Each structure stands twice: as C-alpha cells, then as structure tokens.
Chains A and B, each alone.
Chain A
Amino acid sequence: MLSVQTCATLDEAARQMGDRTRFLAGGTLVMRGVNYADPSFDRIVRARTMPCEIRSDDTGLRIGAGATMADLLAARDAEILHPVARMIGGPAVRNMATVGGNLFAAHPYGDLATALLALDARVEMAGGATEPMETFLAGRDRQRGLVTAVILPRVTASEFRWAKISRVKPKGVSMLSIAAWLQGGSRITDARIAFGGMGPTPLRAKAAERALRDRTLDPAGIEGALAACLDGLAPADDALASEWYRREVAPVHLRRLLLREAR
C-alpha cells in the first residue's frame, strides 16, 4: 500500500526521507513508478512549497530545485540552459518536470543533467552541503538527501554547445546527447565535454577534454578529441540504439558539435 506524506517545506521533507521512500516533485518520474506499481517504494514524501527561484549574480546562476523546465525557459537569467530545456518533453512535461528531478532521471531522460555536468554545476542539498555534479551523479542511486538547488559558474553563452540526438522529430527522447563548455575562443584553453546516453549516468569525456586543450576548432585541431572521446564512456544496448551504434556515431556527432559555428 502506498502512503503519501505532505510536508510544509523541503527541509522538513528531507528529515522524513527513509527506506522505500521517494520524494515527489514534478511527478514525471515518481508517478510513472506509481502507475506501474514499482515495487522499490511504497511511501511518497512531498513538500507544499518548493524552492523555485532562478537568480544570477556576478559569480553565476542559482536554480531552485523545484524550478520546472518551463520556469527555466521563462527566466532570462537561465538563458544558457534554454536550448536544453526547450528540447525536453512536450509543453505538459516541461510544466511539470523539475530541475532537481532531472538529476535523478535515468537514460533516456536526464538531458539537463548532462548539460549541468558540462557546465561544472554544483548540487546543493538540504542542510546546505554542496557537491560537484560529477560525484553527485556517480552516487545518485544511493542518495538519501534532497536537492535544494543547482549552482552554475558564470558561463558566456557562446562558450556552451549542446546537441540532442533523437530518432523522432521534432521531439523524442535522446539516443545520446552532448554538452560542451569550451573556453578560450579560437584557441581552447579549457574544455568540459559531457555525454548523455553513453553510460548509466551522464559522463565526462575527459580524454577528449585534454585533447582539445591548446587546439583550434577546425578539422585538424579536433582530431585528437574525436579519437579519444569514447574513453571512459560505457554505452549500452537499448531499444533506441545498440552499444555498437552509439560508439560509431558519438564521434560523428561530437565532430559536428565542435565544428558548428558558435551561437
């Protein structure tokens, strides 16, 4: 039997989390589990008010975990993430799905988490502790705490590139996705590249990042990054594509992304 506990605030809800419990935010992941009688939980905790504020300052951008994809798209401060949020779900899903929930979304969902990994975001938990996206994602299946916000460093829009590869147009789940934060302009000084759909969580292509340093974004300059981009990734077979296919096309899509004109 399922029970639902409603708390006033997220902090209060965080104290109520325990075994066989899921926190309900937008509902797009948890209610699907309810509808399909997911045997791994029988208790839902939710909060009447969620932190939804989206605010930028000199140091970067802070997004409340309860902000929806539609909230992101309505916030000028979050413009850097608009190309990502726009490609998630249809309008109804974007009105429901939250930033915090997306961090827990297993493939083929979780496009935003892929972008946040490339953008070196930190995850703020109830209680105030923060953690880099990378370690957060690695441990998310064991996570008991609740996310209150994600915090992005200051990023110039022209430094960020995003591609979501879907089978269905205009909207379909991603077969794979790529996010890249490329600093330095014509000669790359620092690169962060994250792949979605190429492992159990969004993963960084660190060998490709190293291979891009001090290179220019032209066919010769990116050769090393393309050759190394599968290093550390762990794609799997699923209904959307085979592991073999993903390995074949990931470098192709990375090449297109890197050679594309900056926004």
Chain B
Amino acid sequence: MAKTPVRFTLNDAEAALFVDEGANLIDVLRRGAGDLSPKQGCAQGTCGACTVLIDGQPHLACLTLAETVEGRRIDTTGGLAGGPQLHPLQTAFMEEFAAQCGFCTSGMLMAAKALLDRQPSPSRDEVAEAISGNLCRCTGYEPIIDAVMRASQRMRGAA
C-alpha cells in the first residue's frame, strides 16, 4: 500500500510521518505519533471522544483524513499540561469529579478548551452547547459543566 508523507505540528512539536492511504487522524496520532491522549470511541462522529483542535478549532480526529492535516497545527490533551503543572481545566475536572470512567474526558477537555479560548467567560448554556458533540455516560454532564465554569473563573483570576 502506498504511503503518503504528512507533516504537522503536534502540541508545539514538529511531526513528520508516513501514513497509509485512507488512514484517519486518530490512528495516525495514536499509532504513528504515539500520542495516546485522544480516544477512539464510535468512529462515526457521534461520541466526540476523539476531539482534537486543528488550527484551534475542534475537529473529530476519527473522521479526518490524516493527509489533510499537512502543515496544520494539532492540539491534543497530551499537550495541555506544562510538565507537572496541570491545565486549569484538568485541575477543575478533578476537583468537580467531572471524570468517572474517563473515556470521554480527553474529548471534553479539548471541546472545553476551544470554548474558553474563544469565550473566556461562558454561560452554562454556552458550555452545554460547546460539549454538545461529546457523549458522557457516567457523569450526567452537570459536573463537567461545573468544572468548565470553575476553570473559566480561575483562568480569569476570579477565584
């Protein structure tokens, strides 16, 4: 099978890989680049577990043809923390018990990050809208919304 070269920025580092024709981005990130932080759930765009940011905007890695990210910037949960220093969203998710089994967490964090980058002080409705493409079968969503609200406050220095 022919391989296609693709280069992109992954969490501030340059990545250059050969990908199979038709490979999706989630496989290339996990198996090729070794970033296991984005999860593959449904592989059909329903669950949002594979949400990553492409040029700052949330995308579903499982439905992205890997070779289309040539030259683009990809951010995953793997790049959120700065060394031992967790991102405020990660800290707030722990404090608010916003993760139980944890499978949706990586996608939730990226969807929430895209929101806070664009709208630093969202309403609860805006948070619900931002994570509306991400399924969670454990928490009932309210703790996740609480966590995003808390992270938003903290990032603005309000609490």
Contacts and interface: CB of A to CB of B under 8 A. Distances in A.
Contacts of A157: none
Contact of A95 (B1, B44, B59, B132): B59
Interface in B22-53: 22, 24, 43-45, 48, 51
Interface string B97-119: 00000000000000100110000
Contacts of B44: 32, 35-36
A239 interface: no
Query: Which of A44, A46, A96, A170 is the most central at the interface, judged by chain B CB atoms within 10 Å of its CB?
Result: A96
Interface of A is mostly: mixed
B11 interface: no
Contact of B134 (A26, A90, A96): A90
Contact of B45 (A28, A170, A171): A28
B45 A46 contact: no
How large, as a class, is the contact surface on chain A?
Answer: 20 to 34
B159 interface: no
Contacts, number: 87
How large, as a class, is the contact surface on chain B?
Answer: 20 to 34
A35 B62 contact: yes
B130 interface: yes
Contacts of B130: 91
A97 to B, nearest CB: 9
B21 to A, nearest CB: 5
A163 B52 CA distance: 31
Contact of B111 (A35, A90, A171): A90
Given A31-B24, A32-B44, A44-B22, A93 B60 contact: yes
B67 A96 contact: no
A24 B65 contact: yes
Given A32-B45, A34-B24, A171-B133, A91 B114 contact: yes
Contacts of B45: 28, 32, 89, 93
B55 to A, nearest CB: 10
15 contacts: A4-B4, A24-B65, A27-B65, A32-B44, A35-B44, A44-B22, A89-B133, A90-B48, A90-B133, A92-B58, A92-B133, A93-B45, A96-B59, A170-B129, A171-B133
Interface of B: 1-2, 4, 21-22, 24, 43-45, 48, 51, 54, 57-60, 62-65, 67-68, 111, 114-115, 128-134
